[in-house]
């Protein structure tokens, strides 16, 4: 457990920092830093306070430290004492409304920033217009005492990417912000980018240890590919390479007795459909008209466990903690709605805990299997994907033989499972760990930058 220290501000203009003796002993400290700002000060021991660092109002102003009662971590490197971490959460879609600055996403961000005290970090929201490149500062949006407040702070120690979608991620000016802060200022930037489904499968296939979790998957090339896979598996899924939320997923089933094809999907009116066709060509002509097939992925169908005659799959979240280790932070079951091709809530699916639908013995076995698979997959993904990954949401299935299958990996997982009242503690844990990882990254960037920027 790392020790944290309250930053106490006193009303004078002395360039002196009073520290617990344990911080400064055997060190020749000459500078204090917060985020990207630092300057020379004198350090003196403070024998009466072991959990407090005392600075003057002048030091606070020069470092632009928010005057908020939060205990922070300290890091020492060479002759500098760093207090923090200062965590910038980069996003877009800001509104002019004071109480709803991020529209419908405001509630999530207010809950995330409410964990500043719990984690021991100063986390704030910012967008591209909030950056003052000349001064090296950001007008950040803080959430404190149930209210939003803007405060000017230095460039942060680390940046957590919370851009809301692929469209915002592709905006050139936002890409330039990311590139500049990473290359010119060497600020670690975590959770960049949305995953491409096909690319994920290709990267994962490079490691034989997790191949058993991967259903056969190919980019759409021809009807003969689908015919071949249907003859092997009985049914396949056609899904967008860059899709999310279960949108655009189609299940194709071949009935060898009647020599007919069925397609299960959700139409534009969000109605679950099951249609029958005499040929695969006619099915595609009818269902996939005006859909770009070159952007589609063909995936092996799996005969999943069923609850009340409905397929069930599992959402497993993993997060890196404040020591850089992967943890399973949430597990939930999702039961498909009647006639639905997926288990997503918007398609009529429902969320449950594993203990609600399985016996105690089965529940323990499945949690162990799902956790082991998710941790293995997290480590392999981290090794084979560019950038710093701090959290992943996996959609995993268990077939009738008890084998685990990976359906999707999401770099910015949705949070619909946390609407279940018995999963609230998972909601808290995932948010806490997503900020706590910034502590590890701050320490690494100071002490072992070669590991982060290799």
307-319 pLDDT, tens digit per residue, is 888 889 999 999 9
Q: DSSP string covering 134-151, please?
A: TTTEEEEEEEETTEEEEE
Whether residue 23 is preceded by a cis peptide bond, meaning omega within 30 degrees of 0, is: no
Q: pLDDT for 330-368, tens place per residue?
A: 999 999 777 566 666 666 678 999 999 999 999 999 999
Residues 378-420: tens digit of each pLDDT: 999 999 888 999 999 999 999 999 999 998 899 988 888 898 8
Single out the residue of 393, 418, 398, 387 nearest to residue 408, CA to CA. Answer: 393
Provide the pLDDT confidence category of residue 244 given band limits of 50, 70 and 90. low
212 has pLDDT over 90: yes
What's the mean pLDDT in 65-89? 93
pLDDT digits (tens, 9 = 90+) for 159-203: 999 999 989 999 999 999 999 999 999 999 999 888 887 788 888
φ/ψ of 384, rounded to 5, equals -115, 5
- Residue 354: helix, strand or coil by DSSP? helix
pLDDT at position 48 over 90: no
pTM of the model: 0.89
Give me the pLDDT at residue 344, please.
Answer: 61
* pLDDT, position 347: 61
Question: Which residues, 6 or more positions from 307, have their beta carbon under 8 angstroms from its beta carbon?
Answer: 333, 335, 357
Comparing CA positions, the residue from 158, 246, 242, 248 lying closest to residue 194 is: 242
Distances (CA, A) of 420 to 71, 350, 392, 416: 32, 9, 20, 8
What's residue 147's pLDDT? 94
Confidence grade of residue 246 (pLDDT, cut at 50, 70, 90): low
Q: Distance of alpha carbon 366 from its chain centroid, rounded?
A: 23
pLDDT confidence of residue 46 = 86
Measured between alpha carbons, how far is residue 319 from residues 96, 187, 195 in Å? 32, 20, 16
Residue of 176, 179, 200 whose CA lies nearest to 189: 179
436 CB burial (10 A radius; 0-12, 13-18, 19+): buried
Answer yes or no: is pLDDT of 232 > 90: yes
Question: Residue 438: which residues within 8 A CB-CB, separation 6 or more?
Answer: 85, 87, 119, 121, 123, 157, 158, 160, 190
CA angle 124, 128, 131 (to 5 degrees): 70
Give the pLDDT of residue 248.
80
Domains of the chain: 5-84 (2.40.40), 86-187 (3.40.50), 197-214+304-443 (3.30.470.20), 221-300 (no CATH)
């Amino acid at each position: 457990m790392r020790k944290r220290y309250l930053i106490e501000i006193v009303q004078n203009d002395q360039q002196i920092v009073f520290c617990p003796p344990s911080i400064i002993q055997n060190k020749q400290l000459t500078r204090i830093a917060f985020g990207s700002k630092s300057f020379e000060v004198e350090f003196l021991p403070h024998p009466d306070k072991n959990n407090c660092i005392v600075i003057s109002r002048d030091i606070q102003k020069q470092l632009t430290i928010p005057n908020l009662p939060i205990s922070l971590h300290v890091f020492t490197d060479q002759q500098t004492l760093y207090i923090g971490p200062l965590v910038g959460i980069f996003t877009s879609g800001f509104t002019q409304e004071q109480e709803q600055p991020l529209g419908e996403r405001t509630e999530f961000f207010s809950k995330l920033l409410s964990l500043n005290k719990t984690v021991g970090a100063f986390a704030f929201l910012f967008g591209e217009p909030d950056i003052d490149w000349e001064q090296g500062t950001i007008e950040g949006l803080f959430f404190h005492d149930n209210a939003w407040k803007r405060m000017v702070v230095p460039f942060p120690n680390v940046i957590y990417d919370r851009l809301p979608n692929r469209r915002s991620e592709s905006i050139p000016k936002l890409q330039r912000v990311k590139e500049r802060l990473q290359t010119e200022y060497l600020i670690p930037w975590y959770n960049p980018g949305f995953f491409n489904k096909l690319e994920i499968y290709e990267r994962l296939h490079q490691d034989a240890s997790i191949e058993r979790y991967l259903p056969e998957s190919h980019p759409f090339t021809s009807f003969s590919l689908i015919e071949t896979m249907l003859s092997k598996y009985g049914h396949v899924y056609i899904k967008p390479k860059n899709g999310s939320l279960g949108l655009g997923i189609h299940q194709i089933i071949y009935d060898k007795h009647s020599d007919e094809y069925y397609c299960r999907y959700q139409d534009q009116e969000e109605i679950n459909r099951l249609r029958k066709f005499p040929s695969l060509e006619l099915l595609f002509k009818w269902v996939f008209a005006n859909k770009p097939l070159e952007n589609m992925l063909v995936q092996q169908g799996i005969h999943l466990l069923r609850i009340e005659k409905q397929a069930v799959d599992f959402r497993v979240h993993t997060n890196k903690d404040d020591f850089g280790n992967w943890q399973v932070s949430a597990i939930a079951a999702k039961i498909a709605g009647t006639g639905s091709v997926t288990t997503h809530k918007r398609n009529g699916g429902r969320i449950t805990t594993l203990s609600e639908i399985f016996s105690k013995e089965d529940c323990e076995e499945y949690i162990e299997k799902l956790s082991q698979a998710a941790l293995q997959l997290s480590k392999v993904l981290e090794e084979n994907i560019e950038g710093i990954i701090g959290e992943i949401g996996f959609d995993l299935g268990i077939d009738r033989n008890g084998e685990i299958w990976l359906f999707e990996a999401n770099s910015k997982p949705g949070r619909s499972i946390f609407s279940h009242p018995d999963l609230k503690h998972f909601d808290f844990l995932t948010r806490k760990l997503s900020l706590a990882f910034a502590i590890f990254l701050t320490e690494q960037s100071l002490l072992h930058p070669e590991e982060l920027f290799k």
